[in-house]
Structure 1
Amino acid sequence: MRSKHNFFYRNSLSIVLILLMFIFWAGQFLTGWSTENKELDEEGHAAMSFWQYAQSGHFIQATFENWESEFLQMMLYILLTVSLRQKGSSESKSLEGKEEVDKEPESHTRAPWPVKKGGIWLRIYKHSLSLAFGILFLISFLLHFYGSYKEYNTQQIVKHKSTISASDYLLESRFWFESFQNWQSEFLAVASIVLLSVWLREKGSPESKPVDMPHDETP
């Protein structure tokens, strides 16, 4: 059956979000490039070109320390909402009884192929969302470490100090400070929407309860 809606209408949420990500990522790149070159100039070093900055530890670290925290937040939020509840929150499952997402999958004509296949494929697919975010977190964590390590040694060279090995840098407080400052803010943001959605509303948003729903009801 032909859809009455065009491609953009059907996918507008993801398109707009990805577009905004690229706009702000470009802003991060340009302002980061300018900041890094100002610091190099103050130290009497040559400025980085566009491509040099794209491969620099400064840009890689700044990008992936943020992506890492986002993927960690989503992975743990997905897992925690399986069994934990918040009375009255639009982000929580009901306090009583089983929900549609709790039922065991059944094979049918339009079911995803792992459901039809069964076995190991189904077992993996049942947890594929959290697994995907876990893998994305691990990749981002490793790239954050690489970028942060590279930037640290670059700064050491600029300041005419000795560089350190990757194993030594893993014990550096700087790397973990970068991670923890982002991780805590992500869970603050999630806790905020979980709690604020108990009492506050946004008409038309699936992240909100109906405007007339009592505060103590969980949708």
Structure 2
Amino acid sequence: MKKTLKGNGLGLAFGLLFLATLVAQSFAGWQEFNTQQASEGLVQLSWWRYVASADFGVDVAENWQSEFLQFWLYLMATVWLVQRGSPESKELGEEGRESDQDQMVGEHAEETSPRWARVRGWRLRIYSRSLGYVMGTIFLLSWLVQSIAGRVSFNEERLEQLQGPVTWTDYITRADFWSRTLQNWQSEFLAVGSMAVLAIFLRQRGSSQSKPVGAPHSATGVDG
């Protein structure tokens, strides 16, 4: 058990952090929602009803879609774009999908390589892009959930104001939807860009996301 926990520490730690913050978010959002409901003389919800509501759903989905968009775009961008001196980048001149030998696929695969890396045809094509496919799919599904839950929440507010509901196609063209979307996108792009550039000049000793402390600023694609 101790060996399993140590060997999977990163995934387990972030999994527990995810669950803890999701639960904390639900309670904080619930209190905020009921405070607003009370100030407007409206009925308050139980915690269970709030968690199942569109208000909570849209808050969660809009964060998920922006996070997975960040990783999806970064996966795609780092295939073709490089940043001199960044450990987050490939070496200059190595842009592109790289050779079969570099990627250890097909006849260059090793005995320990995944089975689909040792075959040719559609299975290799799918597997060689599988991480991007999954990240992109989760992003699109989360964005769809955000739009659906956001429309429900938006219409609930309109009904309280004695206004008619809007359709889904109408909602996704409104400022409410794009304000929720873009406020997350811009922060993700800033964070990723900052990490790629700041890691050129700054170090974090012992981290795989940083260059060794003594590595020159010009060293590219070097992990600590």
Q: What TM-score bracket applies, with the shorter chain setting the length? A: over 0.9
Alignment match, 2:79? 82
- Partner in structure 2 of residue 162 of structure 1: 164
2:26 counterpart (11, 24, 29) = 29
* Worse-superposed segment, 106-115 or 57-66: 106-115
Q: Which amino acid aligns with 1:59?
A: F
- 97 and 117 in structure 1: CA distance in 2 versus 1, 3 angstrom threshold: closer
Instruction: After TM superposition, list the pairs within 5 Å mapping 1:76-115 onto structure 2.
Output: 76-97=73-94, 102-104=98-100, 105=105, 106-115=108-117
TM-score under structure 2 length normalisation: 0.91
Contact 2:34 2:45 in 1 (8 A): yes
Deviations 1:65-106 (A, max 9, x none): 01000111100100100111111111011113589x833113
Q: Please say if residues 72 and 137 of structure 1, whose CA atoms lie closer than 8 Å, have aligned partners that are also in contact.
A: yes
Moved more, 143-152 or 112-121: 112-121
* Structure 2 residue ranges without an equivalent (≥5): none
For residues 92 and 116 of structure 1, the distance between their equivalents in structure 2, rounded to whole angstroms, comes to 27
Contact 2:34-2:44 within 8 A present in 1 as well: yes
Measured after TM superposition, the shift of residue 43 of structure 1 is: 1.8
Question: How has the CA–CA distance of structure 1 residues 6 and 168 changed in structure 2, closer, same or farther, with 3 Å as cutoff?
Answer: same
Residue 181 of structure 2 aligns with which residue? 179
Match of 1:58 among 52, 55, 59: 55
Alpha-carbon distance between aligned partners in 2 of 1:156 and 1:126, rounded to the nearest angstrom: 47
- CA deviations on 1:129-157 (whole Å, 9 max, x unpaired) are 11110000011001111111111011112
Cα distance change of structure 1 residues 72 and 98 upon mapping to structure 2, 3 Å threshold? closer
Aligned length, in residue pairs: 215
Residue 48 (structure 2) pairs with residue 48 (structure 1): no
Distance 1:120 1:77 in 2: 24
The one-letter amino acid paired with 2:54 is: G
- Structure 1 residue runs of 5 or longer lacking an equivalent are none
The 8 Å contact of residues 69 and 182 in structure 1, kept in 2 or not, is answered as yes
SS of alignment partner, residue 10 of structure 2: helix
Contact 1:60/1:144 (8 A) holds in 2 = yes
Runs of 4+ in 1 over 6 A off after TM superposition: none
Q: CA RMSD in A?
A: 1.8
- Which of 135, 148, 151 is matched with 1:149 structurally? 151
Which one scores higher on RCO, CA 8 angstroms, separation ≥ 6?
Answer: 1
Judged with a 3 Å threshold, the aligned counterparts in structure 2 of structure 1 residues 97 and 183 are, in CA distance, closer, same or farther, namely: closer
In 1, Cα distance between equivalents of 2:180 and 2:32: 18
2:216 corresponds to = 214
Residue identity opposite 1:102 in structure 2: E
Distance 2:171 2:199 in 1: 41
SS in 1 for 2:18: helix
